Structures are given as C-alpha cells and as structure tokens.
Amino acid sequence: MSTITKPYHIGRKISRIRELKDMKQEALADALGISQQTVSAIENSETIDDKKLLEVAEALGMSVEAIKNFSEESMISYFNTFNDSTLNGPVNSNYCTFNPLDKLMESMEENKKLYERLLQAEKDKIEYLEKLLQGK
C-alpha cells in the first residue's frame, strides 16, 4: 500500500482552498445548499462531477480551472510575489504621503491644549468653592 498522495485529489484541493479563504465547511454547505456532511464527503473525494465542481467553484468565488490547478507550491509562489518590489511597482506601494512624526506632534499639541483647558476648569472650580466657603 502506497502512502504517496495523488497530486490530483480534487477534494483535498477544495478543502485547502476553503481553509485559505477562512471558510468553515458549514459556510460552504450553506452556499451550496447541502449539508456539512456532504461537504466533508466532497472534500474526501478524489474526483467529483463537473457540475458539482462548477457549483463549488462559484461558492468559493473562483474558476474550476483555478481549483484544478491549485497547489501549495503555486500559492506560496503567488504570495511571495507581494514582497517582490519589481512586480508590484509604485501602484501597490505602501508609502506614507505624510510624515507620521508631524501627525504625532499635532496630536500632542491638541492634547496639551485640552489638558490646559481641563486644568484651568479645575482651578476655576476650586476658586469658586473657596469663595463659597469664605462667604459662610
């Protein structure tokens, strides 16, 4: 008996894609109008009919070809392209259009003004209370 997994186990591909999309079996079952147990059976199946595969693909928001061609290696390669600046270019750049220290300083100035107003209000309240106590 061989322990090597077959590369075209469509159920495992569906299961892995669902997991990567952070989707539970119950959510996929609801989208397909079937039970969670049926989704489990699909994910354990080496093959599924084309009609059901199309329904699953639509529920996962992808094409049948994407499911058939899915592999862990291709996903790792795909996500690694996000760190390759030659592929992303300036369109996907994550650069600030402002100086964060300037924003921090502005915020600190606003907080300082608020603190000074609160402090003055407390002083005014103490002064008022002292006047009341002296008047008695």
Residue-by-residue DSSP string for 37-65: HHHHHHHT-S---HHHHHHHHHHHTS-HH
d(CA 43, CA 9): 9
**Measured distance between the N- and C-terminal CA atoms of the chain, rounded to whole angstroms:** 100
Average pLDDT across each block of 10 residues of the chain; the chain has 136 residues. List them in order: 60 90 92 94 93 93 88 70 53 63 84 93 95 84
Q: Give pLDDT, residue 125.
A: 95
Query: What are 22-28's contacts with CB under 8 Å, separation 24+?
Result: 23/60, 28/56, 28/59, 28/60
110's tokens: 């606003």
- The CA dihedral of 54, 58, 64, 67, to the nearest 10 degrees, is -120
The pLDDT of residue 127 is 94
Q: Please tell me the predicted confidence (pLDDT) of residue 136.
A: 64
* Residue whose C-alpha is closest to residue 50's, from 29, 31, 68: 68
**Per-residue pLDDT at 58:** 92
Instruction: Write out pLDDT tens, residues 45-64.
Output: 999 999 999 999 999 998 89
pLDDT at res. 106: 85
Is the pTM higher than 0.85? The answer reads no
